Amino acid sequence: MKYRYQILAIILAASVVMLNFSFSKTKLSVCGTDIKKSGMYEFIMGDSVAPAIMGVYESEYKPRTGIDTTKQKILLIGDSMLEQFRWRLRDYCRENGHEMASVIWYSSQTEWYGTSDTLAFYIKKEQPTYIMLILGANELFVSDIINKRTPYVKHILEQIGDIPFIWIGPPNWKPDTGINEMIVNNVGLRRYFPSKELTFKRYADGAHPKPESAFAWCDSVASFIMNKSRYPILLNPPTQKYTSSPNTTILQPWKK
């Protein structure tokens, strides 16, 4: 019995030492080998010290700032999927005092925007304070897309620079080969809207959303921007449908 109490005392003392070590900032090594901490601190403290799953996600754990209520100049740019979307965004902009310019580049892909100065050109021309990018629908079925197209995505982000933006993922009509994964890997969860999670009514081509679905899509994006995005701006739902046409530039498919 005497030895049993001694063993219990040793175990208890060791547990106290391990717990204190887990909560301390001190590094301990034996014969040049670092002693790994138990992870008890992270288990108890939870998300307040959550590590980055991937490097790009590190900022996801930072506190979100308040909604920016100032007037914005929004550049909506991408492929043909924004064609109906832009009409609803026009209503949001009019309702909330923002300006808007849109650019539709038919059949465009990350490769097109990532190997040209088109995006940089319209950023310089429109001087936006906020960018919404709808791009990726023409790349749903590209094989090995992450390796093939990631450099183009990085160049797109270089052109955007430090302008607040949201990348609106493509409205999938079938499972993709990695375009959505590639986008979120590069921009992070709070700068990416997963359109593939929504249900759409589509035109006869089976791909492009009909107006009612595109408008609901825009509503979902606006709510995400205000409540979950890294750069929340004022996007209260429109109280009326406006009649002015969106400021739009149409670009024809690129012929290399």
pLDDT digit string, tens, across residues 198-225: 999 999 999 999 999 999 999 999 999 9
CA 163/CA 157 separation, integer angstroms: 10
pTM of the model: 0.76
Instruction: Work out the number of other CB atoms within 10 angstroms of the CB of residue 97.
Output: 11
Spatial separation of the C-alpha atoms in residues 113 and 100, rounded to whole Å: 20
Half-sphere exposure of 227 (CA within 13 A, CB side): 7
Q: How confident is the model at residue 255 (pLDDT cuts 50, 70, 90)?
A: confident
Question: CA 40, CA 148: separation in Å to the nearest integer?
Answer: 41
Do 163 and 131 touch, CB atoms closer than 8 A? Answer: yes
Average pLDDT in the chain? 84
Q: What is the pLDDT of residues 29-81, one digit of tens each?
A: 445 544 444 444 333 333 332 223 333 443 443 444 689 999 999 999 999 99
Cβ distance 201 to 213 under 8 Å? Answer: yes
- pLDDT tens digit string along 110-140? 999 999 999 999 999 999 999 999 999 999 9
Helix, strand, coil percent values for the chain (each to nearest 5): 45, 15, 40
